[in-house]
Structure 1
Amino acid sequence: MARTVGIGHQDFETIRKKGYFYVDKTNFIKEWWESGDRVSLITRPRRFGKTLNMSMTEQFFSVAYADRGDLFEGLSIWKNEEYRQQQGSYPVISLSFANIKEESYATARRKICQILSNLYSGYNFLLEHPILDKKEQKFFEDVSADMDDVTATLAIYQLSSYLTRYYGKKVIIILDEYDTPMQEAYVNGYWDELAAFIRSLFNSSFKENPYLERAIMTGITRISKESIFSDLNNLEVVTATSEKYADAFGFTEAEVFAALDEFGLADRAQEVKLWYDGFTFGGLTDIYNPWSIINYLSKKKVGLYWANTSSNRLVGKLLREGNREVKKAFEGLLAGKHLITPMDEQIVYDQLNTNELAIWSLLLASGYLKVIHYEKYEELGDDFREVNYELDLTNHEVRRMFGSMIKGWFTETSADYHDFIKALLLDDRKAMNVYMNRVCSEMFSYFDTGTKPSKEEPERFYHGFVLGLMVELADRYVITSNRESGFGRYDVLLEPRNKADDAMILEFKVQEAEEEAALSDTVKAALEQIDRKEYASNLIAKGTPRERIRKYGFAFCGKNVLIG
């Protein structure tokens, strides 16, 4: 009989006691311990079992779970007598920053302080023990939501000292989702303040801490060393391309197919593979996102499970407001092409607005992109240029998620945008002009990065508009942009999948006031450019009759547009 699927449980003890569906990942404990690394930072996308694995690790080592070997009976770690002796033998400090999603530095800092205060509350018995002198008792009591920076940044260090002296063993520190507050700080504009606070906290907790036995931090991203890890030179970073712990987070294909068999769904293996396969960690391919698989086992149908577990606000903001190169690259990804780009896997948040390479790093770390191939440093020899990565959208679920996100960009003007699409298909130029002017009026600033319209708005809008076309008309047209044809590069080309439909060429031009007195002159120049550079040549070479090729010139002046 198939086990019960309990959705949303991240506490190891609850899952084991209730007998809920669980894939054995306890070999991670052995692999991590035998690595000998003093401080490990493990990055994986959201909903990949990081929190459950940290709960599992805490409950294996923590003295609070001494004599709770029953939780691990029947699992791989319990087959090893040496590790049975380790269970419940260390003081463990475990905390999570997963819920720190605040709009200001003051509230984010206060929430971190409250988490530290709650941590101390669990050890109030130390106040009655002679290991603490009066000054230490005073420090202990000063730990609160309102404590000063010195007390806050030393809180974990001091607690490590107290627990080491009380139990006679150094501590293990587990920090889950360390980067959640950092992402919110970037989005809400208080990055510098929070980075300085976190840097001091991490330095005292993980570097200048003689009471530390081992530590693990988990998160989605590897934030740059200069940002918050500048003093932490004992850090082992494990990213998506690292070989360590490759099968510890996420389900392997063998684990997924075994689960499908258990639930009587073995005949749907290829459907599940299409939708949810595609993640790669180290050299291990065919990794599946656990959240989607668990939901599939429960609901027995495909859906956007993982893609809808958060607002994707940061990713959406970066793509929508990105420059034309970012949008052009993303057009290629949506069209099924791979992206080849130099990249550094550490995220420099300060550069996300200006450096497109940082955006691809974030998308890879977040699980939206997967690595097809990358150049290893040993393969480069004496060539110290940036490492090139070949990237693709991870799977069908991610592709569908981005389609929904792009549609959402036009939500405020969805009626006008869809009416424009209908008018375009009908070749109703009068209606196209009415609806497109309404869309432009609303959407120009939305695609820009600043609070005031910029000169780049037509470019930003144009590429966002193309992505919208690709989502709305992908079933009916092959849509390409900025490709060579004839003697130049056209802006947008719609090649019909059905020969009964017309092909279309769209050329966008911003009015040059010195040369074009009116927008109609700009439209004329755009149409002349289509003919002069023979943008239709590729279509004609494929057998499309000239009379079945429509040509449109889009002329922009500020937020006004004229289509002819």
Structure 2
Amino acid sequence: MARTVGIGHQDFERLITSNNFYIDKTGFIKEWWESGDIVTLIARPRRFGKTLNMSMTEQFFSVRYVGRGELFEGFSIWKEEKYRELQGTYPVIFLSFAGVKETSFTEARKSICRTIEEQYNKCGFLTEGNLLNEKEKAFYQEVSTDMPDSTAAASLRSLSDFLGRYYGKRAIILLDEYDTPMQEAYVNGYWDELTEFIRALFNSTFKTNPYLERAIMTGITRVSKESVFSDLNNLKVVTTTSREYAESFGFTEEEVFGALDEFGLSAQRQDVKTWYDGFTFGSVTDIYNPWSIINYLDTQELRPYWANSSANSLVRNLIREGNQEIKKSFERLLSGEHLITPVDEQIVYNQLDSNEMAIWSLLLASGYLKVIRYEEYGGGFDGVKEPDYELALTNLEVRMMFCSMVKGWFQGNASDYNSFIKALLLGDLDAMNDYMNSVAQTMFSSFDTGKNPSKSQPERFYHGFVLGLMVELRGRYMLTSNQESGFGRYDVMLEPVHTGDDAILMEFKVFQPRREKELSDTVNAALKQIEDRKYSALLTAKGIPEERIRKYGFAFRGKEVLIGAADETINGQ
């Protein structure tokens, strides 16, 4: 009989005692302990079992769970006598920054301090008797939501000291989702203040702490060393390309197929693989997201679960507000192509606005991209360069998430945008102009929000618009942009999937006041370029006759748009 599937379990004890579905990941405890690393940072995408594994690790080692070996009976860790003897023998400090999602530094700082204060409240017994002297007891009472920076920085180091004295063993510190406040700080504009505060806390807790036995930090990203880990030279970093702990977070294909057999879903293996497979950790391929699999076992319906389990606001903004090169690369990914780019797995948040490599690094760390292959370090004029990665969208679930995201860009004026699509398919030029101007008026600023926005440059809007076409017309047209045909590169080509539809070519141009008197002149220049450079050559080579190829010139002047067709005369306005 199949076990009960429980959704949202993050507490190991509760999951096991309720006999819910669980795939044994206790081998992580042995691998970590035998690594000998003092401080381990593990970066994995969200919803990959990080919190559950941290809870499992706490309950295995913590003196609060001494004598609770039944939680681990039947699992791999309990098969070895020496690990049975380790269970329940260490003081453990287990914190999570998952809830630190404030919009200001003041509130974020309070939230972090409150999390630390909660650990002190759980250990109030330390102030009883003579274990602490009067100064130490006064320090203990000083730890609060509003404690000074110096007290906050020393708080976890001091608590590990106090616990070590009480139990006669150095403390284990577990910090889950360490980078959540940093992502919020970047989005909400208080990055510098937060990183200064976090740097002092981490340095005292993880570097200059003689009372620390071992520590684990988990998060989505490996934040740059310069940001918060300066001088933390005892840090072992495990990213998605590292070989360590490759099977400890996420489900392997063998584990997923075993679960499908247990629930009588063996016939659905290929569909489940198409939807949810695609993650690679180290050299281990075919890793599945646990959140999606568990939800599928519960509902037995193929839907996007993991991709829709968070607001994804940072990713959405980076792509929508990114420059034309980012959008062009994203177009290729959305159409199923691969992207080859250098990737630095050390995320530099303050470069996300300007460094394309930083954005792909974030998308890879977040699980939205998968590594097809990558090169080792080498090359470059000085003999060293970042390795090139071949990247693709992870799976169907992620592709559907991004399609929904692109649709969301036009949600505020979805009626106008959908009407434009209908007018385009019908070849109704007047309606196309009416609707396109309505769309542009509403959406232009949304796609032109870079550090130096220019209302005379439509690149961000144009590429967001192209992505919208790609999503809305998929299945009916194959859309490509900036590809070679004839004697140049066209802007947009819509190649029909069915023989009954016309092919469509689009060229976009910005009004040039020195060369053009009217916006109609810009339209005519765009149409002339389509003809002169024979952009239709690729389509005619595929057997599409010229009379079935519609050609449109789009002219932009600020938020004003004029569209003309090759078979119509565009007169001055």
TM range (shorter): over 0.9
> What CA distance in whole angstroms lies between the structure 1 residues aligned with 2:283 and 2:378?
16
Give how far 1:499 is off. Answer: 1.0
What letter matches 2:413 in structure 1?
Answer: T
Give how far 1:522 is off. Answer: 0.5
Counterparts of residues 518-533 of structure 1 (less than 5 Å): 518-533=518-533
Residue equivalent to 1:261: 261
Residue equivalent to 1:197: 197
* 1:267-316 C-alpha deviation (Å, 9 max, x unpaired): 10111000000000000000000000000000001111001110000000
Q: Is the 8 A contact 2:243 2:281 kept in 1?
A: yes
Residue equivalent to 2:289: 289
What secondary structure, in the 3-state scheme, does the structure 2 residue paired with 1:377 have? coil
* 1:27-78 C-alpha deviation (Å, 9 max, x unpaired): 0000000000000000000000000000000000000000000000000000
What secondary structure, in the 3-state scheme, does the structure 1 residue paired with 2:458 have? helix
* 1:232-290 C-alpha deviation (Å, 9 max, x unpaired): 11100000000000000000000000000000111101110000000000000000000
- Structure 1 position 223 matched with structure 2 position 223: yes
> What CA distance in whole angstroms lies between the structure 1 residues aligned with 2:484 and 2:262?
52
**TM-score of the superposition, structure 1-length normalised?**
0.99
Q: Is the 8 A contact 1:172 1:213 kept in 2?
A: yes
- Structure 1 position 186 matched with structure 2 position 186: yes
What letter matches 2:34 in structure 1?
Answer: E
Q: Unmatched 5+ residue regions in structure 2? A: 565-573
Give how far 1:451 is off. Answer: 8.4
* 1:55-109 C-alpha deviation (Å, 9 max, x unpaired): 0000000000000000000000000000000000000000000011110000000
> What CA distance in whole angstroms lies between the structure 2 residues aligned with 1:431 and 1:196?
55
Residue equivalent to 1:327: 327
Give how far 1:134 is off. Answer: 0.4
Q: Is the 8 A contact 1:223 1:346 kept in 2?
A: yes
Residue equivalent to 1:437: 437
Residue equivalent to 2:152: 152
* 1:504-552 C-alpha deviation (Å, 9 max, x unpaired): 0000000000111111110011000000000000101111000000000
Q: Unmatched 5+ residue regions in structure 1? A: none
Residue equivalent to 2:478: 478
Q: Between the two proteins, what is the percent identity of the paired residues?
A: 67
> What CA distance in whole angstroms lies between the structure 1 residues aligned with 2:115 and 2:538?
62
> What CA distance in whole angstroms lies between the structure 2 residues aligned with 1:171 and 1:118?
17
> What CA distance in whole angstroms lies between the structure 2 residues aligned with 1:122 and 1:457?
58
Which is worse superposed, 351-360 or 447-456? 447-456
Counterparts of residues 357-436 of structure 1 (less than 5 Å): 357-377=357-377, 383-436=383-436
What secondary structure, in the 3-state scheme, does the structure 2 residue paired with 1:5 have? coil
Q: Is the 8 A contact 1:444 1:457 kept in 2?
A: no
Residue equivalent to 1:466: 466
> What CA distance in whole angstroms lies between the structure 1 residues aligned with 2:76 and 2:9?
21
What secondary structure, in the 3-state scheme, does the structure 2 residue paired with 1:237 have? strand
Q: Is the 8 A contact 1:444 1:453 kept in 2?
A: no
Give how far 1:413 is off. Answer: 0.9
Query: Compared with structure 1, are the counterparts of its residues 77 and 380 closer, same or farther at alpha carbon in structure 2 (3 Å cutoff)?
Result: farther
Counterparts of residues 105-124 of structure 1 (less than 5 Å): 105-124=105-124
* 1:482-519 C-alpha deviation (Å, 9 max, x unpaired): 01111111000000000110000000000000111111
* 1:184-230 C-alpha deviation (Å, 9 max, x unpaired): 00000000000000000000000000000100000000000011101
> What CA distance in whole angstroms lies between the structure 2 residues aligned with 1:375 and 1:455?
40
Q: Is the 8 A contact 1:406 1:468 kept in 2?
A: yes
Residue equivalent to 1:232: 232
Give how far 1:131 is off. Answer: 1.4
> What CA distance in whole angstroms lies between the structure 2 residues aligned with 1:409 and 1:380?
39
Q: Is the 8 A contact 2:502 2:549 kept in 1?
A: yes
- Structure 1 position 24 matched with structure 2 position 24: yes
Q: Which portions of structure 1, spanning 4 or more consecutive aligned residues, are displaced by more than 6 angstroms?
A: 378-382
Give how far 1:481 is off. Answer: 0.3
Residue equivalent to 1:446: 446
Residue equivalent to 2:562: 562
Q: Is the 8 A contact 1:486 1:535 kept in 2?
A: yes
* 1:428-451 C-alpha deviation (Å, 9 max, x unpaired): 010000011011011111012248
* 1:443-500 C-alpha deviation (Å, 9 max, x unpaired): 1110122488525740010111111111000110010000111111100000000011
* 1:328-371 C-alpha deviation (Å, 9 max, x unpaired): 00110011110000111110000000001000000000000000
What letter matches 2:445 in structure 1?
Answer: S
Query: Compared with structure 1, are the counterparts of its residues 524 and 382 closer, same or farther at alpha carbon in structure 2 (3 Å cutoff)?
Result: closer
> What CA distance in whole angstroms lies between the structure 1 residues aligned with 2:484 and 2:380?
32
Query: Compared with structure 1, are the counterparts of its residues 381 and 259 closer, same or farther at alpha carbon in structure 2 (3 Å cutoff)?
Result: farther
> What CA distance in whole angstroms lies between the structure 1 residues aligned with 2:353 and 2:131?
51
Give how far 1:377 is off. Answer: 2.8
> What CA distance in whole angstroms lies between the structure 2 residues aligned with 1:363 and 1:375?
19
